[in-house]
Amino acid sequence: MPTPIGHMIGGHSVESPTTFESRSSGNGADLVGVFAAATKEQVREACVAAREAFVLWSATPAPVRGELLGKVGNALEREKESLARLVTREMGKTLKEARGSVQEAIDTCRFFQSEGRRLYGQTVPSEMPNKELTTYRRPLGVVGMITASNFPIAVPSWKIVPALVTGNTVVWKPSSDASAVAYAFAKLFEEAGLPPGALNVVFGGGRDAGAYLIDMMDEGRLNKFAFTGSTAVGRVIGEVAGRNLLHPTLELGGKNPLVVLRDADLDNAVQGAVFSAFATGGQRCTTAGNVIVDAPIYEAFLERFLGKVSELRIGDPLAHQDVDYGPFINERFYHDWQDHYGWGEPDGATLAYGKGRITSESAPSGWAGGDPAAGFYGWPTVWTGVEPGMRLFQEEVFGPTINVVKVDGVDAAIDAANAVEYGLSSAVYTMNRDWAYRFKSRIQAGMTSINNTTVGAEAHLPFGGVKASGNGTRESGIWVLENYTYWQAVNDDVSGRLQLAQMETQYVTPSDEVDVGSLF
């Protein structure tokens, strides 16, 4: 049994009375690491350490903070391959996708390295003489963060990096399914010279360590909370934050529409739909949930789509680097996904492809080989005959499942796309610029692609949703700075006397009134 890895609190490794194991999602016999399970007192201790570190870190010049994050980017670049392999080993993402997710963190460090020199305020003209008005961005304080397992480096970087560059300190509870990746990631901040306590990491499950961190808002130990995960948990966090007058960052679930209109390039649309549905085994918040297809091309699209789905390669990504997707991240995700097989047929939907869990007795032609019982692997699953009122259409299915929905025309497609409670990502395939314009103007989603997938992000573009997919906050780019700073307005009067704006302001005195009617 390996030595348990302790929490990272105030620059020290802190052990716990209980531990938990992280095992490879693709091979349960592979023990990745043993980790301390945080107690409530240890989570509180991490918040205290972050509060103490805030004094020094917030006073560090912003360009210096940015340069340190640049060093983190350098370390990530150096360790890109080893980190990608660790991501694949621990949570099952393909190596190609894992490398991309590490690159996203590198890009984020690069972007915010330079933002350390651009945390601009403004100078504002005063209505009084001998007075200067200025504004400054100020850090909020201690930020509590909980992140999910499907992007164990990219998504934490979206939160940790901008929080740190703006002068905040952090208490981070990563997913217990990606604890090893989180530990390796955090150690690179330590290597770069981040002061002790500026980034604290507490390990454990959502029901214990995660709940304890949420409780810290009620104890007044946090000034901000950032969360990526389910809408149900996001509502809980939003409620606790609201009663403490905090504005949380909530990046939640999605039931993302991908619309294929009658003039679309079918080959391009099929490729985009397959990747949108099955990348990371459908375990993305931006995964396509409903492919909405215009009636005149529905049959042609479905035939090509099912053909590509039947060719998908599935298996352990470490053993088979050519697979399109790997295992479920954990057993709970698999069981939740398996339940959806009982929804469709009672509502009138048709199972066009898929047979639940992949086993040695029941495997698709694309199974890459090896023992499927070593992890939880799911058949790529396609439903047809799905209507907007059905549970399959409405609820997020976190796994390799997609609905193909027939509509007639662009307006019906937009109506169907908006007929869910979520509003994270969306896509439309069309060569008609008017239809593309109508779609991007009327779709209820925080992100839209035209002739591209529902998945994917770039470090300098805002990421986030509307409706049940979030609370209007955004990750990435300059927009995220609003979430980790507040504006301070400074009124600097050098007149040496009391000046009362609005009450003593001397505007130009008007001359005699002019009768416009008499001029002509």
Catalytic member of 115, 285, 396, 475:
285
Which whole-number Å values give the CA distances from 467 to 268, 287, 421, 425, in the listed order? Answer: 29, 17, 6, 11
- Please name which of 402, 398, 396 lies closest in space to residue 292, comparing C-alpha atoms: 402
Q: Residue 23: in which H helix or E strand, if any?
A: strand 19-23
Q: Residue 249: in which H helix or E strand, if any?
A: strand 249-251
The pair of structure tokens assigned to 319 is: 């053993």
Q: Is 47 a catalytic residue?
A: no
Q: How far apart are CA 128 and CA 355, in angstroms?
A: 75
The pair of structure tokens assigned to 91 is: 């949570």
Given a contact cutoff of 8 angstroms between Cβ atoms, the answer to whether 358 and 400 are in contact is: no
Instruction: Count CA atoms within 13 Å of residue 304 on its CB side.
Output: 15
Strands 466-467 and 199-201 come out as: unpaired
Diameter over CA atoms, the chain: 98
Given a contact cutoff of 8 angstroms between Cβ atoms, the answer to whether 301 and 355 are in contact is: no
Contacts of 45 (CB under 8 A, 6+ apart): 9, 10, 14
Catalytic member of 97, 104, 251, 475:
251
Q: Residue 217: in which H helix or E strand, if any?
A: helix 211-218
Strands 131-139 and 123-124 come out as: antiparallel
Neighbours of 498 (CB within 10 A): 7
- Please name which of 381, 406, 389, 396 lies closest in space to residue 260, comparing C-alpha atoms: 406
Q: What one-letter code names the amino acid at 492?
A: D
Given a contact cutoff of 8 angstroms between Cβ atoms, the answer to whether 209 and 43 are in contact is: yes
Helix/strand/coil for 90: helix
The pair of structure tokens assigned to 78 is: 């150096």
Given a contact cutoff of 8 angstroms between Cβ atoms, the answer to whether 448 and 278 are in contact is: no
The pair of structure tokens assigned to 209 is: 């360590």
Contacts of 491 (CB under 8 A, 6+ apart): 126, 131, 133
Q: Is 285 a catalytic residue?
A: yes
- Length of the chain, in residues: 520
Helices (H), 395-459: 410-417, 433-442
Q: Supply the residues annotated as catalytic.
A: 251, 285
